[in-house]
């Protein structure tokens, strides 16, 4: 066996280090996009390439699309979709085998559209399939060996190892989001079952959740924050389970005692959900959704920004739904009246920021809100 010289060993150590780097990154972030970007930056650097990318397969449209595109034209590249079976990536996706193309100008499989659209000049490509459970789920590429050299067989072996890590990351993210969806739909089903018994609250939670999400998106919340908001809104009134129907559905005026019982529902909700370890972060939104911005709400009389953010959003959504939905003793108010009510109470009952976000939504996207209200009246 040929002895490895010092330089070769050095290079091998570097390569192993980059694989280790990738596995360490797994622990540092849960965000798939971020993780794949990191992995492909490492691939680009370790394999001495000018650019790197990952394609995913859109089975319905029979296209490949970029999930990662590093390098100077990466941003432009990301808008492009590649038809099934086209290009080097398409070939690799179809055959499930790596492909090393030292000179793309001599390979008829090369798909020139991406270069034409981005202004990038592709010379050489090393492409490997991303495989999970025997199925090709994507393709990873490194493009143009720096210094005019060629990608080697050694590069291919390393890149396949890197691609495997990327494939695992993609698979994990998919499983995680399936689990998350299952969790959310179970919560929805339970909430619906609770509401089903009363025709006047039926659908309340769903509508409050939709309004809350519209506000949250207007306020530019991140994906994770939106998820927290959704769960908080879905469960905001869960504490009403503990309140007797004779009070909840009483048609006339409530006595002071009865009103006090109703007012206990945010705390009851917290009590019910507290034992669940993974949802501690939604408790503040539930506990404080009846606080008022001026401090005159309950249970704690919190004021202004001391009220948890998600609670301030839910408060606006909740009030709007209470006004616009039918009650045993009255029809729901027209949108314009409810709108005015929110406008007039921004800064007293409602956080002005959250109220404004909802007012903007009402003005710019009235059809969406009308549709949510209408669904409730059917």
- Taking the complex as a whole, the smallest distance from the CB of residue 360 to Fe ion amounts, in Å, to 24
Count other C-beta atoms under 10 Å from residue 238's C-beta. 22
Binding span for Fe ion by CB under 5 A among 135-143, 230-238, 242-250, 298-306: 230-238
- Taking the complex as a whole, the smallest distance from the CB of residue 239 to Fe ion amounts, in Å, to 8
Name the residue nearer to Fe ion (CB basis): 96 or 242. Answer: 242
Count other C-beta atoms under 10 Å from residue 208's C-beta. 26
Name the residue nearer to Fe ion (CB basis): 170 or 311. Answer: 311
- Taking the complex as a whole, the smallest distance from the CB of residue 313 to Fe ion amounts, in Å, to 13
| Active-site choice (106, 240, 250, 331) | 240
240 among known catalytic residues? yes
Give the 3-state secondary structure of 72-117.
Answer: CCHHHHCCCEEECCCHHHHHHHHHCCCEEECCHHHCCCCCCHHHHH
CA separation for the pair 233, 218 (Å, rounded):
16
Considering the rule CB under 5 A, would residue 237 count as an interface residue with Fe ion? yes
Name the residue nearer to Fe ion (CB basis): 45 or 263. Answer: 263
Give the bridge partners for 210, in sequence order.
Answer: none
Binding span for Fe ion by CB under 5 A among 120-128, 213-221, 225-233, 237-245: 237-245
Considering the rule CB under 5 A, would residue 141 count as an interface residue with Fe ion? no
Q: What does DSSP assign to residue 333?
A: P
Handedness of CA 142, 143, 146, 151 (dihedral sign): positive
Name the residue nearer to Fe ion (CB basis): 42 or 315. Answer: 315
Q: Are 368 and 229 in contact (CB under 8 A)?
A: no
Handedness of CA 332, 334, 340, 343 (dihedral sign): positive
CA separation for the pair 30, 179 (Å, rounded):
14
Name the residue nearer to Fe ion (CB basis): 136 or 190. Answer: 190
CA separation for the pair 7, 10 (Å, rounded):
5
- Taking the complex as a whole, the smallest distance from the CB of residue 269 to Fe ion amounts, in Å, to 8
CA separation for the pair 47, 93 (Å, rounded):
21
- Taking the complex as a whole, the smallest distance from the CB of residue 234 to Fe ion amounts, in Å, to 13
Convert residues 181-220 into a mask of x (bound to Fe ion by CB under 5 A) and - (unbound). ----------------------------------------
- Residue 111 main-chain phi, psi, to 5 deg: -100, 110
Q: Which residue has the tokens 């506000």?
A: 215
Binding span for Fe ion by CB under 5 A among 235-243, 250-258, 270-278, 304-312: 235-243
Q: Which residue is nearest to Fe ion (CB)?
A: 237
- Taking the complex as a whole, the smallest distance from the CB of residue 355 to Fe ion amounts, in Å, to 18
Considering the rule CB under 5 A, would residue 291 count as an interface residue with Fe ion? no
Of 296, 317, 238, 310, residue with least CA distance to 270: 238
Binding span for Fe ion by CB under 5 A among 234-242, 274-282, 344-352, 367-375: 234-242
- Taking the complex as a whole, the smallest distance from the CB of residue 315 to Fe ion amounts, in Å, to 9
Name the residue nearer to Fe ion (CB basis): 155 or 237. Answer: 237
Name the residue nearer to Fe ion (CB basis): 195 or 237. Answer: 237
Binding span for Fe ion by CB under 5 A among 33-41, 118-126, 159-167, 229-237: 229-237
- What one-character-per-residue DSSP string does 177-244 give? HHHHHHHHHHHHHHHHHHHHT-TTTTTHHHHHHHHHHHHHHHTT--HHHHHHHHHHHHTTTGGGGGS-
Measured CA to CA in angstroms, residue 165 lies from 53, 106, 202, 272 at distances of 14, 31, 46, 40
Catalytic residues: 240
Interface residues toward Fe ion, by CB under 5 A: 237
């Amino acid at each position: 066996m040929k002895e490895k010289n010092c330089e070769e060993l050095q290079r091998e150590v570097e390569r192993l280090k980059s694989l280790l780097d990738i596995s360490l990154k797994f622990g540092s972030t849960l965000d798939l996009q971020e993780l794949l970007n990191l992995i492909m930056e490492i691939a680009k650097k370790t394999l001495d390439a000018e650019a790197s990318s990952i394609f995913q397969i859109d089975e319905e449209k029979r296209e490949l699309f970029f999930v990662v595109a590093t390098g100077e034209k990466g941003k432009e590249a990301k808008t492009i979709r590649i038809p099934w079976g086209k290009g080097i990536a398409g070939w690799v996706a179809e055959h499930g085998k790596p492909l090393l193309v030292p000179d793309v100008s001599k390979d008829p499989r090369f798909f020139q559209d991406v270069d034409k659209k981005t202004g990038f000049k592709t010379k050489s490509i090393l492409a490997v399939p991303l495989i999970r459970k025997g199925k090709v789920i994507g393709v990873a590429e490194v493009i143009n060996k720096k210094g005019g050299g060629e990608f080697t067989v050694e590069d291919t072996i390393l890149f396949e190892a890197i691609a495997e890590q990327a494939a695992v990351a993609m698979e994990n993210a998919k499983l995680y989001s399936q689990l998350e969806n299952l969790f959310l739909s179970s919560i929805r089903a339970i909430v619906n079952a609770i509401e089903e018994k009363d025709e006047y609250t039926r659908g309340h939670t769903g509508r409050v959740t939709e309004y809350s999400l519209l506000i949250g998106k207007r306020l530019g919340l991140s994906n994770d924050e939106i998820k927290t908001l959704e769960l908080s809104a879905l469960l905001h009134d869960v504490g009403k389970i503990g309140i007797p129907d004779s009070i909840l559905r009483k048609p006339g005026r409530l006595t002071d005692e009865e009103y006090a019982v109703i007012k206990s529902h945010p705390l009851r909700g917290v009590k019910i959900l507290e034992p669940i370890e993974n949802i501690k972060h939604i408790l503040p939104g539930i506990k404080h959704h009846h606080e008022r911005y001026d401090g005159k709400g309950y249970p704690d009389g919190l004021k202004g920004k001391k009220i948890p953010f998600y609670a301030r959003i839910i408060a606006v959504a909740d009030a709007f739904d209470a006004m616009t939905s039918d009650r045993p003793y009255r029809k729901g108010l027209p949108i314009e009246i409810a709108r005015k009510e929110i406008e007039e109470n921004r800064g007293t009952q409602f956080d002005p920021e959250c109220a404004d976000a909802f007012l903007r939504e009402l003005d710019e996207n009235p059809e969406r809100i009308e549709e949510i209200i209408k669904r409730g009246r059917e």
